[in-house]
Amino acid sequence: MRSNCCGELRKENISSTVQLCGWVDRCRDHGGVIFIDLRDSSGTVQITVDPDQGNELFAIAESLRNETVVQVSGQVRARPAEASNQKIDTGDIEVLAKDLKVLNHVKGNLPFTVSIHDEESVREETRLKHRYLDLRRDKLSKNLRIRHKTIQAARNFLEKEGFIEIETPILTKSTPEGARDYLVPSRVSGGDWFALPQSPQLFKQLLMIGGMEKYYQVARCFRDEDLRADRQPEFTQLDIEMSFMEQEEIIAMNEKLIVSIWKTIKGIDLPTPFPRITWHESMERYGTDRPDIRYGIEICDVSKIFKNIGFKVFSNAISSGGSVKCITIPKGNSAISNVRIKPGGDIFSEAQKMGAGGLAFIRVRESNEIDTIGAIKDNLNIDQINALIKQTNAKEGDLLLFGAGDTKIVNRTLDRIRQFLAMELKYLPSQESINYWGFIWVVDFPMFDFNIDENRWEALHHPFCAPNNKDLGETPDEWQNRLPKARAQAYDLVLNGLELGGGSIRIHDAALQKQVLETIGLSTKEAHEQFGFLLDSLDMGAPPHGGIAFGLDRIVMLLTGSESIRETIAFPKTQQARCLMTEAPSEVSKQQMKEIHVASTWTNPK
């Protein structure tokens, strides 16, 4: 149908006869001469329609509207010097139409403008309903191409490293821990259910036990949990697993993978090795296990200074087992008004959102004088002030913001305030700077976290992470006691405060695996019901292995500078996990439900 693509035509093509297909991006009808910007996936080129080429041709050109699909035959020619357009790649030439055929019309109004010149933001609801039109627009079209190139870069790299791509089941077994499963009833085995995989975790381990040694997959994962800008009910992981490699080797290899992706997509050489931080240190300094390391404002634990202070908010926090911590905002006195950090202010509200009861502050003035609310000022002596200023390294003009209470909430709050103010006060490097990319490996995660509500330990990553041998003790007798407090051989790759991926060395010893499952409260019987196949396999020559999984949607989101992973997915769902285009999910017939032995208990609340 076509001899060339629109966007590829250049001076070199002058005088050649071409046939093009595409969409009318825009028309400029001058009455005597008509210009058509013809667009295909490669770009746009100007088609010139001259009345000399015949009335029929001209009449068709006059009838064209935006997004009409046309086929044009014509000759490439140089534009008159004064009419060349350096703003577009094909601006030196134009195609003089000899024949023009409408392949498809547009009837009625389009829901929104498609043209590459139109950057007007359309309501997302409308874009999602007519996603096929949105895909035609510049931004999504580019994003999906970057997504493709990202996957290709990963495939190329992994191919060279000797990995093979293997698919794992989509219909699989429900897992007890973790997110809610999407369930699929079995017609053949009445009353039984499949689950869609939350990740290929167990299968990739079994592939290692199956001797594949180096596996990867662009794997679709499903989790029935509430959504966010960076969470969809179905998302894609770049899933990798390998045998006979230790944590350091795996980290080094994956770092090279990331470097090669950034080189391919951004054309930049990321400095290596990426910095490392232990989970513990990250929590101390940033209050989170996914720190944005591109700016300072680190968290300072000042509990010791305020242990015996008369200001009850602080002293009570400490005596009840919590902490008092603070962040120092350089020059914060002039940048941030009291209105914003007192009740009702935006910064105060951010703190409140994270569960903080309040947001205490101290302003450092000339010669270490301080300025704060009376309740704090009246209860602080000069030694405490000096200790505070020394520990926080605060200077005249700086603002100290405090969190006091349960340590988890204090950390969470100060992390949030830190990020909120970094954005607001423009501490972030520009997108063009190499420093924009704040990669960091977070290592030495704890194996478990104690769930107070359920009074039990739960796996921080998942229950297949291997513990650090140093924390285990010499003999299996010690495992039971030592395991809960052990560090895991687990690692997360964090970029700009977002978790890009995470992995671990897996347990390849059946006894240790049973002990870990027991620690999270699974009896031997339950463990066998849920993971019998894995436990069995570990006793049949399971190699040491480990791996990682990257959130592909998030990687592409960062590479494209998007605000949401929806901008990297061809057909995403809304926050209510609905597809506005197909209107899925939807009702099914009674007959369908009968066949799969399912009855609905849903009653409309009305």
Partner RNA sequence: GGGACCGUAGUUCAACCGGUUAGAGCACCGCCCUGUCACGGCGGAAGUUGCGGGUUCGAAUCCCGUCGGUCCCGCCA
Within positions 532 to 591, which residues make up the interface with RNA, using CB under 7 A? Answer: 563-564, 566, 574-576, 578, 580
Q: Dig out the tokens for 63 from the structure.
A: 């009838």
Q: Is the peptide bond before 273 cis (omega within 30 degrees of 0)?
A: yes
Q: Euclidean distance between the first and final Cα of the chain, in Å?
A: 56
In sequence order, the 6+-apart residues with CB closer than 8 A to the CB of 373 are: 360, 361
Least distance (Å) between residue 19 CB and RNA:
20
In sequence order, the 6+-apart residues with CB closer than 8 A to the CB of 530 are: 173, 175, 176, 522
29 lies in the site for RNA, by CB under 7 A:
yes
Of residues 326 and 459, the one with the C-beta less far from RNA: 459
Of residues 541 and 605, the one with the C-beta less far from RNA: 605
In sequence order, the 6+-apart residues with CB closer than 8 A to the CB of 11 are: 78, 92, 93
Of residues 338 and 564, the one with the C-beta less far from RNA: 564
Least distance (Å) between residue 328 CB and RNA:
23
Residue with tokens 């240190």: 281
Q: Which of residues 175, 236, 530, 537 is near RNA by CB under 7 A?
A: 175
Site pattern 112..131 for RNA (x: CB under 7 A): xx---xx-xxxxxxx-x---
Distance CA 30, CA 214 (A): 63
Stretch that binds RNA, among 103-111, 239-247, 249-257, 527-535 (CB under 7 A): 103-111
Cβ-based burial of 20 (10 A; exposed 0-12, middle 13-18, buried ≥19): buried
C-alpha pair distances (Å), 563 with each of 117, 321, 557: 21, 38, 7
Least distance (Å) between residue 499 CB and RNA:
9
Of residues 327 and 517, the one with the C-beta less far from RNA: 517
Least distance (Å) between residue 149 CB and RNA:
24
Least distance (Å) between residue 78 CB and RNA:
9
Distance CA 342, CA 350 (A): 11
- Other beta carbons within 10 angstroms of residue 353's beta carbon come to 12
| Binders in 354-373 for RNA, by CB under 7 A | 354-355
- Report yes or no: 406 and 315 within 8 Å, Cβ to Cβ: no
458 lies in the site for RNA, by CB under 7 A:
yes
Distance of CA 26 to the CA centre of its chain: 35
Distance CA 362, CA 497 (A): 27
Of residues 287 and 305, the one with the C-beta less far from RNA: 287
Q: Dig out the tokens for 422 from the structure.
A: 């970094």
Q: Which of residues 32, 162, 211, 374 is near RNA by CB under 7 A?
A: 32
Least distance (Å) between residue 442 CB and RNA:
14
Q: Dig out the tokens for 548 from the structure.
A: 């990682």
Of residues 121 and 320, the one with the C-beta less far from RNA: 121
Among candidate residues 51, 43, 175, 54, the one with its CA nearest the CA of residue 529? 175
Of residues 141 and 574, the one with the C-beta less far from RNA: 574
Site pattern 46..75 for RNA (x: CB under 7 A): x-x-xxx------------xx---------
Of residues 42 and 113, the one with the C-beta less far from RNA: 113
Task: Tell me the residue ranges of DSSP E strands in 260-314.
Answer: 276-278, 299-301
Least distance (Å) between residue 503 CB and RNA:
11
SS3 483: helix
288 lies in the site for RNA, by CB under 7 A:
no
In sequence order, the 6+-apart residues with CB closer than 8 A to the CB of 565 are: 229, 230, 231, 232, 235, 553, 554, 556, 557, 572
| Binders in 373-432 for RNA, by CB under 7 A | 412
500 lies in the site for RNA, by CB under 7 A:
no
Q: In 3-state terms, the chain is what percent helix, strand and coil (to 5)?
A: 35, 25, 40
Q: Which of residues 225, 371, 424, 536 is near RNA by CB under 7 A?
A: 225
Least distance (Å) between residue 117 CB and RNA:
4
Number of residues that bind RNA (CB under 7 A): 76
Site pattern 248..287 for RNA (x: CB under 7 A): ----------------------------------------
Least distance (Å) between residue 549 CB and RNA:
8
Of residues 333 and 504, the one with the C-beta less far from RNA: 504
Least distance (Å) between residue 430 CB and RNA:
22
Q: Which of residues 143, 199, 411, 413 is near RNA by CB under 7 A?
A: 199
Distance CA 45, CA 27 (A): 12
Least distance (Å) between residue 269 CB and RNA:
31
Stretch that binds RNA, among 145-153, 220-228, 249-257, 304-312 (CB under 7 A): 220-228
Site pattern 227..246 for RNA (x: CB under 7 A): xxxxx---------------
Least distance (Å) between residue 236 CB and RNA:
14
- Other beta carbons within 10 angstroms of residue 218's beta carbon come to 14
84 lies in the site for RNA, by CB under 7 A:
yes
Q: Which of residues 15, 109, 367, 455 is near RNA by CB under 7 A?
A: 109
Of residues 229 and 373, the one with the C-beta less far from RNA: 229
Stretch that binds RNA, among 1-9, 161-169, 458-466, 537-545 (CB under 7 A): 458-466
Among candidate residues 536, 442, 440, the one with its CA nearest the CA of residue 489? 442
In sequence order, the 6+-apart residues with CB closer than 8 A to the CB of 420 are: 347, 350
Of residues 398 and 492, the one with the C-beta less far from RNA: 492
Distance of CA 475 to the CA centre of its chain: 41
Distance of CA 383 to the CA centre of its chain: 46
Distance CA 95, CA 78 (A): 9
Stretch that binds RNA, among 24-32, 156-164, 166-174, 257-265 (CB under 7 A): 24-32
2 lies in the site for RNA, by CB under 7 A:
no
Of residues 29 and 371, the one with the C-beta less far from RNA: 29
Of residues 438 and 446, the one with the C-beta less far from RNA: 446
110 lies in the site for RNA, by CB under 7 A:
yes
Q: Which of residues 325, 363, 462, 554 is near RNA by CB under 7 A?
A: 462
In sequence order, the 6+-apart residues with CB closer than 8 A to the CB of 140 are: 134, 567, 570
